[in-house]
Structure 1
Amino acid sequence: MSAVASPPLAGGAPGARRTPWRQPSVLPGFGVTLGYTIFYLSLIVLIPLVALFLKTATLTWDQFIAATTSARVLAAYKVSFGASFAAAFVNLFAGLLVAWVLVRYRFPGRRFIDALVDLPFALPTAVAGIALTALYAPNGWIGQYLEPLGIKVAFKPLGIVVALIFIGLPFVVRTVQPVLEEAERELEEAAAMLGATRWQTFRHVIFPTVLPALLTGFSLAFARAIGEYGSVIFIAGNLPMVSEIGPLIIITKLEQYDYAGATAVATVMLGVSFVLLFVINLLQAWQAKRSGSAGSGRK
């Protein structure tokens, strides 16, 4: 009786051993595609970052400290990171609410609102900044009613937060929306049948499901806000020590031909952003692991 030959593995010769890092794929050419991926990412991401650090390395330590810790630069750090964090935090709640309405309800104009969410992606940032300034300026449509109340938005840090909320909302909505669409509503119905209140159902059933997506949307919105320039520059007022942002400091140094100083400030912002995003990713991984462990325990 002749032995039956085993079928060839996808992407390899008959009988080839399957390694843990090389999974079967419909598209062949693992070496070519991996090489292209590494080359492309190096060209687009790694090489510019290396150039940034190499230019910064031309400064002495004292020059680097002087360029990155002056009072004006520290104030710009505070405005940029504080406004970015505040805007991303607001978008956590606003994005979850918008995604919930778009997924769970059917109403006239729903598709229009769904398309409207993506408008900040397509709208030029300068146009967004001019529009927000026209709305919230002291003589603007909304600003003229806020000014008598002592609420100043345009040309203040609050205006920066408003602009960053505008450009960051789609990141949270589009991250949370698919998770809500795939959520099992049977679990919510079972919780209701067992006597759980709406708050208990949200806290113990819905929130753990969407939390990883919320953290992802928060990190994306936060990262986008830190580097935002076009929409902020018009509404901020750009007052040193008050509403000046980090990217504007970099632009100012470049206009003064202080390239090393500009890259030094950019390096600090990049480092702080990387650390904050790394912490957020750790929290996301911990939450995913915790949810997986809880799911295994229920099984």
Structure 2
Amino acid sequence: MKKAHAAANKRKRILPGFGLSLGVTLVYVSAIVVIPLSMVFIWTASLGAEGIWKVFTDARVLKSLQLTVTTSFAAALINAGFGVLIAWVLARYTFHGKKILDALIDLPFALPTAVAGIALTTLYSPNGWIGQFLHIKVAYTPIGIILALIFIGIPFVIRTVQPVIEGLQQEVEEAAAILGATRRQTFFHVLLPALFPAVMTGFSLAFARALGEYGSVVFIAGNIPFKTEITPLMIMSKLEQYDYHGAAAIACLMLLLSFFILLLIHGIQWYVERKKQVYVR
């Protein structure tokens, strides 16, 4: 009797259609994410241990991977700083042209990345409209790669942080000011702890997006081996040579490294959240 009663209560707690919804979800995620990713590992495993090690230790591949990770991290870090500033302006101030600026933020989402790459190369090449006035070379250098990655990653930070800023109560800032806190103290001790999870999320999204970017980078990078050659270009080169196993191996290495870095970032975010909860208690 008790078992029947417990089973009835359990059925009541589950939303109607849960079984069907869960089944559709698992099938969809498997078809779109799990199966394609598993094929990358299957193709890589077909090379054997010696072949995988040869691809993983190739100097050109390692140099491209180092360049991809460092430029992606630098671009995401810059976006995290300026993204918070832009999100603050859009959330807290009213000015003429605000809607236009707000719409421009989403432009990198809609603009083909190849078009962005061509435009940036035209502007920042040594003879470009902007590049000719600069004392440093931007196009065909890691600086140009970072610039392209900033362009495609900035919306992720702004759109993640902006709703959180809009949800912050200004009374908290006023209370901090009444208690004698300076604006800097209010930002770092009152606002930043509330914004930190959203900033980390935006940073992670921008970083992940930059790791796999190809279209906007391939033009402005110059693709010089051991200097400005990114890992996605290495994968495309392998595919053009019909070396599908080698391309899968490079993609697998990049996937594992990206997963580890993102896991580390989320671990830091979880640790900060836990410390904050302990402090509040």
TM-score, normalised to structure 2's length? 0.95
Partner of 1:214: 199
* Structure-2 residue corresponding to 1:171: 156
Q: Could you tell me how far 1:287 is from its partner in structure 2?
A: 2.1
- One-letter code aligned to 1:40: Y
Structure 2: runs of 5 or more not aligned: none
Superposed displacement of residue 185, structure 1: 1.2
Which residue does the alignment assign to 2:245? Answer: 260
- Is 1:98 matched with 2:94? no
Deviations 1:131-169 (A, max 9, x none): 1001100111110001xx2x1110111100000000000
- 1:193 paired with 2:185, answer no
Give the aligned residue type for 1:168.
G
Amino acid at match of 1:42: S
**Residue in 2 that maps onto 1:224:** 209
1:92-171 equivalence runs, <5 A: 92-146=80-134, 149=135, 151-171=136-156
Gaps of 5+ in 1: 1-12
Query: CA–CA distance in 1 between the matches of 2:145 and 2:120?
Result: 10
Give the partner amino acid of 1:47. I
Of structures 1 and 2, the one with the larger relative CO (CA 8 A, separation 6+) is 2
How do 1:226-241 residues align onto structure 2 when only pairs under 5 Å count? 226-241=211-226
SS at match of 1:16: helix
The structural deviation recorded for 1:14 is 12
Rate the CA distance shift 1:59–1:193 in 2: closer, same or farther, 3 A: same
Identity %: 56
- The Cα RMSD (Å) is 1.6
Quick one: distance in 1 between partners of 2:109 and 2:158?
12
Who is 2:261 aligned against? 276
Query: Which of the pair has more CA radius of gyration?
Result: 1
**Do the aligned partners of residues 258 and 178 (structure 1) sit closer, same or farther apart at CA in structure 2, a change above 3 Å counting?**
same
Letter in 2 for 1:242: K
Output the CA distance in 1 between the equivalents of 2:235 and 2:168. Answer: 44
Offset at residue 15 of structure 1 (A): 8.8
Size of the aligned set, in residue pairs, is: 277
Q: Scaled by the length of structure 1, what TM-score is found?
A: 0.90
Corresponding residue of 2:228: 243
Please, which of 8, 11, 34 is the counterpart of residue 16 of structure 1? 8
Counterpart in the other structure of 2:33? 45
Deviations 1:17-72 (A, max 9, x none): 148xx9554xx200000010011000000000111100000112121111122111
